[in-house]
């Protein structure tokens, strides 16, 4: 009964949003912009028009146009929508991991995107607005992931970018593909696939250069399997690497980054992966920690927060992931909470939930911080988003209310 009402009211909200004036103004008690200036604006006003932020500043400094729809959140915190670089629930879980081969360069998760599934609704309740839907780690190369909004009624409306990244699982799961699959074979096989992909990319780059020079070279044969690798090698999309433990993370860095020149995002990076910190710092890579958040270091009988351990050793581009459904998507902020419980700095942790993952995924031009021109993706929180006692009351994606706890409280 309640659900029916809720669904109706939610639809109503959407319709209302369409019918309403072009400008929405949100009056907030505190706005965590997460921008480069690290501005935190108290008693702020944010203007939204056409799904984008058009103005942001202190009340009085920003003029609210007459007739604007005003959302009163004067005792709330505004926080950019949280971004998870490692999600499996935006698509159908049954198709988590198609393992045709040990490396599957042609597969794409965009084919599995499932708008408005229950887990996505929960995600919105956790203030999560953007996720990277990637294949599982049952084989070394699961295919291309999709950057998706947690809201949107169609695949097109959800999709931020497809392909979003290439999913590679360096080790620690693909071994299950078949017996006899160990690290040496996996790395060799992965290298073979990448070599083929690069050869394809190189042949086309050569052809394009020749064409630009006006030389009449015959085009190489087109192969859709390798087509998505071209933006990958051009550095236009990253590679999301399931990698953890010292040796494996090292291999990821040297093989994928050094040898193949890929834009590596170290995903998981847990256990004692932090011992690679020096290598990570040298190459300025993004490290997205989770779903494990601590490592029991048996050499010292200490519990180390993984994020803090990276930070202590110089790594600054740190984020958090849930590997949802391993940790429910709506608990993304809790991942950072645990990191902070074990020593990490809360403000940096908030950046690790927003702007750092946005940069890692190369979508920071659109989302990740509350700045003029960026998408109006944010959560309205009752307080510190890292504190489990506070909740996200309202989630807005591209200017539209996609979750309202007053109507359908989920988390």
Partner 1 sequence: MKRALWIALGLAFVSGVATSQELPWPLAAADDEPAPAEADGADAEGGEDAAGEDDEDDAPRWFALRGGSVYQAGAWLEGATVLGKDGRIVAVGTHVVVPADAEVLDVTGYRVYPGLVAFDSRGIVGQQPGDSTDVFGLELNLALATGITTVGAGSQLAKLTWGTLEGHDLGESGLVRIDISQASLRARLREDLARVEAYLRDSKIAAAAKARGEEAKEPDSKFLRGKFAAYRDLLVGTKRALVNADTAGDLRALTRLTLRFGFRAVVKGAVEGWTLPGELGRAGISVVATPRERREPDPDRMAENGWSIENAARLHEHGVEVAILPRSPGISMGGLAGGDLLTFPLEAAFAMRGGLSEDAALEAITIVPARLLGIADRVGTLEVGKDLDAVIVKGDLLHYQTLVEWTVVNGRVAYDKAKDTLLQHVRPRDGEGENLPVPLIWPRRGNAPDSPPRPR
Partner 2 sequence: MRSSTSLSLALAALVCSASLADEPELVVIRAARVITVSGEEFAPGMIVAKDGKIQAVGQRIEVPEGAKEFDLGERVLMPGLVAPRTRFGLRGYTRRGNQVQQRAAIELVVRPDAWDGLLEAGVVAAAVYPEGSDLPGRAVVVHTHPGAPAERILLDPGYLRVGFDALPGNKRTLRGALKAAEQAIEKEEKAKAEWEKKTKPDAGKPGAAPERPSGKRPPRRGPRRGPPQPPRAPLMAGAAEGQSSTAPVDTTKFNPPPIPEAVAPFVDLLRKDKAAPRLFVELGRASDLVHFDEVCAEVEWPQRPVFFAPNRSTRSIQTDFFRVVERLGEEQELVLLHPAISVEESTFVRVNLAEELSRAGCKVAFVPVFDARAGYDALLDDVTLLVGEGLSRDAALKGLTLHAAEAAGVADLLGSLEVGKRADFVVLDGDPLQVGARVEQVWIGANKAWTREVSR
Q: Which does 334 bind (CB under 5 to 8 A by kind): partner 2, partner 1, none?
A: partner 1
Note the residues at the interface with partner 2 (CB under 8 A): 296, 298-301
Count of residues that bind partner 1 according to CB under 8 A: 45
Give the separation between CA 349 and CA 36, rounded to whole angstroms: 15
Q: Which does 295 bind (CB under 5 to 8 A by kind): partner 1, partner 2, none?
A: partner 1
Closest residue by Cα to residue 306 from 287, 325, 322, 333: 287
Which alpha helices (H) appear in 240-331, and where do they start and end?
Answer: 246-251, 277-283, 306-312
**Tokens coding 87:** 């999600």
CB of 402 to partner 1, least distance (A): 18
For 108, 193, 261, 327, 388, the CA distances from 167, given in Å and listed in that order, are 10, 13, 15, 19, 31
- Sign for the CA dihedral angle at 320, 322, 328, 330 comes to positive
User: Which of 194/386 has CB closer to partner 1?
Assistant: 386
Q: Whose structure tokens read 């950046």?
A: 351
CB of 295 to partner 2, least distance (A): 13
CB of 89 to partner 2, least distance (A): 34
List 335, 354, 395, 398, residue binding partner 1 (CB under 8 A): 335
CB of 77 to partner 1, least distance (A): 14
Q: Which does 232 bind (CB under 5 to 8 A by kind): partner 2, partner 1, none?
A: none
> By CB under 8 A, is residue 137 in contact with partner 1?
no
User: Which of 292/359 has CB closer to partner 2?
Assistant: 292
> Phi and psi (nearest 5°) for 388?
-55, -20
Residues 371-410 that bind partner 1 (CB under 8 A): 386-391, 409-410
> By CB under 8 A, is residue 10 in contact with partner 1?
no
Give the separation between CA 216 and CA 210, rounded to whole angstroms: 7
List 104, 287, 329, 337, residue binding partner 1 (CB under 8 A): 337
Candidate ranges 47-55, 96-104, 304-312, 350-358; the one touching partner 1 (CB under 8 A): 304-312
> By CB under 8 A, is residue 295 in contact with partner 1?
yes
> By CB under 8 A, is residue 246 in contact with partner 1?
no
Q: Is 269 left (phi over 0), alpha (psi -120 to 50) or beta?
A: left
Which segments of 170-214 are extended strands (E)? none
Count CB atoms within 10 A of the CB of residue 267: 33
User: Exposure string (b/e) for 282-307, b if CB count within 10 Å is 16 or more?
Assistant: eeebbbbbbbbbbbeeeeeeeebbbb
CB of 185 to partner 2, least distance (A): 29
Q: Which does 271 bind (CB under 5 to 8 A by kind): partner 2, partner 1, none?
A: partner 1
CB of 325 to partner 1, least distance (A): 10
Candidate ranges 130-138, 167-175, 278-286, 321-329; the one touching partner 1 (CB under 8 A): 321-329
CB of 308 to partner 2, least distance (A): 20
CB of 304 to partner 1, least distance (A): 8
> By CB under 8 A, is residue 95 in contact with partner 1?
no
Give the separation between CA 409 and CA 171, rounded to whole angstroms: 39
List 77, 204, 226, 271, residue binding partner 1 (CB under 8 A): 271
> By CB under 8 A, is residue 312 in contact with partner 1?
yes
CB of 8 to partner 2, least distance (A): 55
Give the separation between CA 40 and CA 319, rounded to whole angstroms: 20
**Tokens coding 101:** 């081969």
The total number of residues written for the chain in this structure: 411
Q: Which residues bind to partner 1, rule: CB under 8 A?
A: 1-3, 118, 270-271, 275, 291-296, 299-306, 308, 312, 326-328, 331, 334-335, 337-338, 340-343, 346, 386-391, 409-411
């Amino acid at each position: 009964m309640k659900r029916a009402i809720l669904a109706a009211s939610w639809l109503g909200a959407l319709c209302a949003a369409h019918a309403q004036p072009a400008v929405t103004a949100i009056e907030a008690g505190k706005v965590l912009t997460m921008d480069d200036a690290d501005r935190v604006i108290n008693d702020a006003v944010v203007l939204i028009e056409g799904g984008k932020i058009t103005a942001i500043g202190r009340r009085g400094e920003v003029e609210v146009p007459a007739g604007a729809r005003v959302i009163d959140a004067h005792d709330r915190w505004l926080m950019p929508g949280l971004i998870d670089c490692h999600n499996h629930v935006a698509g159908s879980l049954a198709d988590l991991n198609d393992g045709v081969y040990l490396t599957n360069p042609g597969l794409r998760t965009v084919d599995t995107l499932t708008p408005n599934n229950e887990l996505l609704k929960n995600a919105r309740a956790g203030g999560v607005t953007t996720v990277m839907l990637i294949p599982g780690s049952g084989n070394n190369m699961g295919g291309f992931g999709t950057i998706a909004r947690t809201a949107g009624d169609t695949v097109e409306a959800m999709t931020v970018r497809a392909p979003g990244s290439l999913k590679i699982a360096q080790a620690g799961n693909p071994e299950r593909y078949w017996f006899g699959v160990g690290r040496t074979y996996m790395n060799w096989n992965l290298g073979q696939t990448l070599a083929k992909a690069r050869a394809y990319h190189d042949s086309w780059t050569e052809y394009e250069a020749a064409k630009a020079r006006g030389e009449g070279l015959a085009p190489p044969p087109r192969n859709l399997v390798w087509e998505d690798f071209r933006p990958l090698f051009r550095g236009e999309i990253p590679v999301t690497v399931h990698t953890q433990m010292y040796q494996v993370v090292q291999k990821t860095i040297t093989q994928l980054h050094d040898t193949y020149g890929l834009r590596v995002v170290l995903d998981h990076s847990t256990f004692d992966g932090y011992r690679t910190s020096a290598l990570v710092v040298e190459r300025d890579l993004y490290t997205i920690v989770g779903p494990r958040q601590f490592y029991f270091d048996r050499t010292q009988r200490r519990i180390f927060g993984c994020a803090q351990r990276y930070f202590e050793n110089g790594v600054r581009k740190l984020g958090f992931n849930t590997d949802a459904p391993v940790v429910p998507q709506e608990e993304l902020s809790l991942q950072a909470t645990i990191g902070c419980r074990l020593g990490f700095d809360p403000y940096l942790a908030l950046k690790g939930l927003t702007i750092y993952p946005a940069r890692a995924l190369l979508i920071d031009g659109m989302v990740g911080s509350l700045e003029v021109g960026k998408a109006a993706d944010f959560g309205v929180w009752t307080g510190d988003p890292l504190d489990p006692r506070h909740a996200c009351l309202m989630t807005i994606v591209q200017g539209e209310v996609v979750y309202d706890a007053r109507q359908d409280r989920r988390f």
